[in-house]
Chain A
Amino acid sequence: TQLLEQSPQFLSIQEGENLTVYCNSSSVFSSLQWYRQEPGEGPVLLVTVVTGGEVKKLKRLTFQFGDARKDSSLHITAAQPGDTGLYLCAGMTQGGSEKLVFGKGTKLTVNP
Chain B
Amino acid sequence: EPEVTQTPSHQVTQMGQEVILRCVPISNHLYFYWYRQILGQKVEFLVSFYNNEISEKSEIFDDQFSVERPDGSNFTLKIRSTKLEDSAMYFCASSPRRRRHTEAFFGQGTRLTVV
Is B42 touching A104 in the complex (CB atoms < 8 A)? yes
Contact B101 A45 (CB under 8 A): no
Tell me whether B104 and A31 are in contact (CB under 8 A).
no
Contacts of A102 in B (CB 8 A): 42-44
- Cα separation A66 to B87 with both chains bound (whole Å): 36
Are A99 and B100 touching (Cβ within 8 A)? no
Interface locus among B67-75, B77-85, B105-113: B105-113
CB contacts (< 8 Å) of B41 on chain A: these are: 104
Q: Give the residues in chain B near A35, CB-CB below 8 Å.
A: 106
Interface size on B, residues (CB 8 A): 29
Among B43, B55, B100, point to the contact of A90 (Cβ < 8 A). B43
Interchain CA distance A75-B5 in the complex, whole Å: 31
The residue of chain B having its C-beta at the shortest distance from the C-beta of A43 within the complex is: B106
**Binding site secondary structure of chain A:** strand
Q: Are A99 and B48 in contact (CB under 8 A)?
A: yes
Q: Whole-angstrom distance from the CB of A92 to the nearest CB of chain B?
A: 7
Q: Which chain B residues (1-57) contact chain A, with CB distance < 8 Å?
A: 4, 6, 31, 33, 35, 41-45, 48, 50, 55-56
CB pair B42–A100 under 8 Å, yes or no, is no
Contact A31 B42 (CB under 8 A): no
CB distance from A102 to the nearest CB of B (A): 4
Among residues 70 to 112 in chain A, which have CB atoms less than 8 Å away from a CB atom of chain B?
A: 88, 90, 92, 97-105
Q: Which residues of A contact B (CB under 8 A)?
A: 30-31, 33, 35, 40-45, 48, 50, 88, 90, 92, 97-105
